[in-house]
Amino acid sequence: MTQVIELTQVSKVYNGGAAQTALDGISMSVASGEFVAVMGPSGSGKSTLLNMVAGLDRPTSGRVCVGGRDLTGLSEGELAKFRRTHVGIVFQFFHLLNDLTVLDNVLVAAELAGIKRSAARQQATALLARLEIADKADVYPAELSGGQRQRVAIARALVNRPPLLLADEPTGALDSRSGDQIMELIAAINASGQTVVLVTHDAKLAARHAQRVISMSDGRIVDDAVLEPAAGTRSLLTFQREEARR
Ligand SMILES: Nc1ncnc2c1ncn2[C@@H]1O[C@H](COP(=O)(O)OP(=O)(O)O)[C@@H](O)[C@H]1O
Ligand SMILES: [Mg+2]
């Protein structure tokens, strides 16, 4: 199976007052089409991990490959181009541009990626319809609910048809009903073929939608479990330990 994400011994040390090891030798891969949830306590390195995969930040050591490309050697310009074409990113607090309408928020991302305005407009309009906010195309983010803003952010993340969707606590700022709807949307996006990596605090949401749960603690992966809807949870690490004992 094609690996969309491949991390090899990735470490990240932030240099503030005291050096802070946010990622401590992470190796893992994600195959095309997977829906992976990343869980763990606050400060365990989830956002740092996602930022490495998104090409928003660079590791201190180790190798990050996404879509078969080694990000480690890319220049800033190449990395920016990679972000515009290979990944869609959704954040907890939406990060919309408040001076632009809903449609323009989505179009900006397409234009930055070099897509022609007419094609971009068509794709953006189709996405807003699919996300059930077509009637909000000409309003400004301030007039929208949190759930609607996150739909706009998802449309923006998808407009360039990236093979990989990354979401960092996308339901964290939403009431539970809007959060459920956003998760249903992300699950539907995954069902249509997109690989999804989702950081969440919510074990219930993860169990309901993801096929695999990676658990982090202190910058390390402490569990990697494939969820089998019929048979319940099976821990890969437990499985490997049992295999090693045989
Ligand atoms: N820009 C930064 N500068 C310094 N330390 C950071 C920075 N970002 C994150 N950290 C630290 O790295 C660790 C992991 O943070 P983060 O990846 O945000 O965890 P999580 O998303 O799981 O809450 C934490 O100890 C955090 O304080
Ligand atoms: Mg975080």
What domains can you pick out in the chain, each with its CATH number?
3-95+163-245 (3.40.50.300)
Predicted pLDDT of residue 243? 57
- 8-state DSSP, 150: H
Predicted pLDDT of residue 244? 57
Nearest-angstrom CA–CA distance, 238 and 123: 44
Residue 13 CA to ligand 1 centre (angstroms): 10
Low-confidence ranges of the chain (pLDDT < 50): 230-234
Predicted pLDDT of residue 230? 46
41 lines ligand 1 (CB under 6 A): no
Residue whose Cα lies nearest atom 25 of ligand 1: it is: 43
Helix (H) or strand (E) run with residue 126 in it:
helix 117-130
Residue 179 CA to ligand 1 centre (angstroms): 24
Q: Which pLDDT tens digit goes with each residue over 156-211?
A: 999 998 999 999 999 999 999 999 999 999 999 999 899 999 999 888 889 899 99
Nearest-angstrom CA–CA distance, 33 and 31: 6
48 lines ligand 1 (CB under 6 A): yes
| Coarse DSSP helix, strand, coil percentages of the chain, rounded to the nearest 5 percent | 40, 30, 30
Ligand 1 atom closest to residue 44's alpha carbon, by position in its atom list? 22
pTM of the model: 0.90
Contact 128, 104 (CB under 8 A): no
Predicted pLDDT of residue 232? 41
* The residue type at 163: P
Nearest Cα residue to 104 out of 96, 115, 94:
96
Residue 49 CA to ligand 2 centre (angstroms): 9
- Residue 176's alpha-carbon distances to 133, 166, 172, 183, 208, in angstroms, are 19, 20, 9, 10, 14
Ligand 1 pocket check: which of 42, 48, 58, 91 to mutate, most ligand atoms within 8 Å of Cβ?
48
Nearest-angstrom CA–CA distance, 240 and 193: 29
Residue 45 CA to ligand 2 centre (angstroms): 7
* The residue type at 165: L
Contact 69, 87 (CB under 8 A): no
Length of the chain: 246
Residue 51 CA to ligand 2 centre (angstroms): 10
Nearest-angstrom CA–CA distance, 164 and 88: 6
Q: Tokens in use for 122?
A: 């068509």
